[in-house]
Amino acid sequence: MDQDEDVAEWLLGGDPAVRWRALRLRGAPAARVERERARVAVEGWGARLLAEQDDDGRWGGGDYSPKWISTTYTLLRLVQLGLPAGHPAALRGCERLWDWRARWRTPETCISGLLIRLTAALGHPAPGLDGMVADLLGQQQDDGGWNCATRTDRAKHGSFHTTVLALEALDAYAGTLDVAGAAQRGREFFLRHRLYRSHRTGAEAIPGSTKLRAFGEWHFDVLRGLELFAGRPDRDGRLGDAIEAIRRQQRSDGRWPVHAPYPGKRFFEPEPRGPSRWITVRATAVLDWWSAA
């Protein structure tokens, strides 16, 4: 068995969140991929997170905090794992977040981006979604990025962190508003920075952003940024540095490691330090897209 086949078999021995992605990489029929994805709700990491839901529909006793076991971040993790839309527990969690949102005084753009993504990806029929998306579009900076704090000064430099959250939100949204132009300007913001570099110095803009963490929470990182582009027909050469930053971290056995998570509470750690199926299946998907003819 060659190394690629060995890694592929190793991935298929992992959690359902890994397996459905591995099957998709191998070109399995869509129906088989979706059957495996449905198992996220009943086996492994996804099922463990769902079992932690409080009686009131929240997680961790809170809406946005404590990090990283609150309702917001648990739902974000379930979305990242691939929980299919419409799951009753996830919809209850979304409902709690929209109740919380109704009490906001000044909504922060970064939190709005998270809530839009969760609502859209999990299929919650929130009547205020279009209005929140319209507000997000109105917060875009002149440089194409977004900042967390709501502001009127459009000349401020965009935040890598908030911009990745905003673009993930726009990608998940499938409503009536036209978001394509804003999303394209947001991607151009990253391309001007070669995804992760300072446009002034060329150095890594956010220290540690090339580390491979299992879950990005609200943080930008290179792999998360590349996933905004993967699957699109164009492969912009300005992403080449970021691709190499991922490729350099591949181990000699064809696997990728996972680095220490961001400080905070967790219900459980999905994988120990060392070779990671979760990072490997994500990195492989990005590199396969990049190298495709």
Amino acid letter for position 83: L
Do 82 and 166 belong together in one domain? Answer: no
Of the residues 103, 127, 161, which one is the last residue of a structural domain? 103
Are residues 213 and 262 in contact, defined by beta-carbon separation less than 8 angstroms?
Answer: yes
Do 95 and 138 belong together in one domain? Answer: no
Query: How many percent of the chain have pLDDT more than 70?
Result: 99
Do 73 and 191 belong together in one domain? Answer: no
Tokens of 124: 């919650």
Amino acid letter for position 293: A
Q: What's the total number of domains in the chain?
A: 2
Neighbours of 56 (CB within 10 A): 10
Of the residues 82, 103, 124, which one is the last residue of a structural domain? 103
Q: Which domain holds residue 79?
A: 30-103
Is residue 293 over pLDDT 60? no
| Whole-angstrom distance, CA of residue 246 vs CA of residue 79 | 23
What pLDDT does residue 1 have?
64
- In this structure, of 7-16, 98-107, 111-120, 283-292, the range with the lowest mean pLDDT score is 98-107
Digit-coded pLDDT (tens) for 257-271: 999 999 999 999 999
What pLDDT does residue 167 have?
98
What pLDDT does residue 80 have?
98
Band (pLDDT 50/70/90 cuts) for residue 278 is: very high
Do 38 and 153 belong together in one domain? Answer: no
Query: How many percent of the chain have pLDDT more than 90?
Result: 91
Mean pLDDT of 169-187: 98
Report the b/e string of 182-200 with b at 16+ CB within 10 A: bbebbbebbeebbbbbeee
Do 90 and 146 belong together in one domain? Answer: no
Is residue 148 over pLDDT 90? yes
Tokens of 272: 């120990």
Digit-coded pLDDT (tens) for 197-217: 998 999 999 999 999 999 999
Do 221 and 152 belong together in one domain? Answer: yes
Digit-coded pLDDT (tens) for 80-90: 999 999 999 99
Do 146 and 98 belong together in one domain? Answer: no
Do 12 and 92 belong together in one domain? Answer: no
Do 177 and 225 belong together in one domain? Answer: yes
pTM for this prediction: 0.97
Is residue 114 over pLDDT 80? yes
Do 217 and 140 belong together in one domain? Answer: yes
- Name the residue among 124, 112, 78, 110 with its Cα closest to residue 267: 78
Amino acid letter for position 48: R
Q: Under the phi-then-psi rule, with left for phi > 0, alpha for psi from -120 to 50, and beta for the rest, what region is 217? A: left
What pLDDT does residue 234 have?
87
Do 62 and 35 belong together in one domain? Answer: yes
What pLDDT does residue 149 have?
84
What pLDDT does residue 150 have?
72
Of the residues 50, 79, 103, which one is the last residue of a structural domain? 103
Band (pLDDT 50/70/90 cuts) for residue 171 is: very high
